[in-house]
């Protein structure tokens, strides 16, 4: 028996549209200033910010696909695409951080003078735009890895831009060019922690591991402790998407039938207490081996 208590998904279409538009505007501004000032650093950073537009588009596409209805061929629809998108965004972000680090290390050993005033002004614009975009996703990133991927990209750019502002001001007053790459490396180190967490969680969901927020021991204890349930087997808990969790289990009972009402109560409890919205439960009578998947284990019961 299967029941899905909550299929409500927040629509982030407007959020993504605003975020992408803001970042495209900034890319144009940054590239324009880079060409006008002859700054390769600004032009290169504009290219990096363009990659963030791609990441936002990827997350948006996955979010849109996840809302499409299931079909006979794709019985879960495209929900899993959100997990693939979050994993891809994590990998892209890791490469982006690696690129920033590589450039920063190069500048430590071969400092290049920067046009401090121009760089500070443009970077300050970047702080505002990226911070606004990050704030658009701040609530959703706590419960949706796909949104978290987009959020981390924006946080990374906000941090890097803020670091550039601080470093630029410092260089203006001291002339110490090495401050710029050192600040960049520090910011990358901080952002790397969140990126690795995103990659770990995304990879776990991609291989159908139990989602991090699910208390699997509590689920097992609850199901095993149900009245008339002598044993449970073939328990599986996995992510249907970055926001939805599914469960399937076989309950071996001393009664002929738990009844639809009791099953609904169990499913509601799994939803309310453990955050599992889609549960499939098969009831088997103790001693009846004809319907067992794990017959060896059930014989022992």
Which CATH number is 141's domain given?
1.20.1510.10
The total number of structural domains in the chain stands at 2
Domain for residue 270, yes or no? yes
Residue 5 is predicted with a pLDDT of 41
Q: Taking the chain (301 residues) in consecutive chunks of 10 residues, what is each chunk's mean pLDDT?
A: 47 85 88 69 70 85 86 88 88 83 82 72 87 88 82 82 79 76 78 84 91 92 88 92 90 73 88 92 72 50 41
Beta carbons of 247 and 276 less than 8 angstroms apart: yes
Residue 260 is predicted with a pLDDT of 66
* CB atoms near residue 169 (< 10 Å): 17
Domain for residue 256, yes or no? yes
Domain with 16, as residue range(s), is 2-206
Domain for residue 112, yes or no? yes
Task: Say yes or no: 85 and 198 in one domain.
Answer: yes
Residue 51 is predicted with a pLDDT of 76
Under 8 Å CB-to-CB from 82, ≥6 apart: which residues? 62, 63, 65, 66, 144, 145, 146, 241, 242, 243
Domain for residue 79, yes or no? yes
Find where tokens 């180190």 sit. 189
Give the span between the Cα atoms of 93 and 290, in whole angstroms. Answer: 51
Domain for residue 58, yes or no? yes
Task: Say yes or no: 228 and 291 in one domain.
Answer: yes
Q: Which of 206, 225, 255 is the last residue of a domain?
A: 206
Region of residue 186 (phi > 0: left; psi between -120 and 50: alpha; otherwise: beta) = alpha
Give the span between the Cα atoms of 122 and 195, in whole angstroms. Answer: 26
Residue 237 is predicted with a pLDDT of 95
Query: What's the number of CA atoms in the CB half-sphere (13 Å) around residue 283?
Result: 18
Domain for residue 211, yes or no? no
Q: Which of 180, 206, 232 is the last residue of a domain?
A: 206
């Amino acid at each position: 028996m299967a029941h899905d208590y909550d299929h409500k998904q927040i629509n982030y279409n407007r959020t993504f549209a605003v975020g992408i538009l803001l970042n495209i505007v900034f890319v144009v501004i940054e590239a324009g200033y880079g060409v006008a000032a002859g700054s390769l650093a600004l032009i290169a950073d504009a290219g990096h910010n363009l990659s963030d537009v791609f990441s936002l588009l990827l997350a948006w596409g996955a979010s849109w696909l996840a809302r499409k209805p299931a079909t006979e061929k794709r019985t879960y629809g495209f929900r899993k695409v959100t997990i693939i998108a979050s994993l891809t965004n994590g990998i892209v972000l890791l490469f982006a951080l690696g690129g920033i680090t590589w450039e920063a290390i190069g500048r430590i050993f071969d400092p290049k003078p920067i046009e401090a005033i121009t760089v500070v002004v443009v970077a300050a614009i970047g702080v505002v735009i990226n911070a606004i975009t990050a704030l658009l996703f701040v609530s959703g990133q706590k419960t949706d890895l796909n949104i978290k991927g987009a959020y981390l990209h924006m946080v990374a750019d906000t941090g890097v831009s803020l670091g550039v502002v601080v470093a630029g001001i410092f260089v203006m007053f001291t002339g110490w060019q090495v401050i710029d790459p050192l600040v960049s490396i520090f910011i990358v180190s901080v952002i790397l922690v969140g990126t690795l967490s995103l990659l770990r969680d995304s990879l776990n969901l991609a291989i159908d591991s139990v989602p991090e927020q699910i208390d699997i021991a509590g689920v097992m204890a609850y199901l095993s402790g149900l009245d008339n349930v002598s044993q449970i087997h073939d328990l599986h808990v996995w992510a249907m998407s970055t926001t939805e969790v599914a469960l399937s289990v076989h309950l071996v009972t001393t009664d002929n039938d738990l009844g639809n009402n009791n099953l609904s109560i169990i499913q509601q409890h799994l939803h309310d207490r453990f955050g599992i919205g889609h549960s499939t439960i098969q009831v088997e009578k103790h001693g009846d081996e004809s319907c067992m998947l794990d017959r060896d284990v059930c014989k022992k019961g």
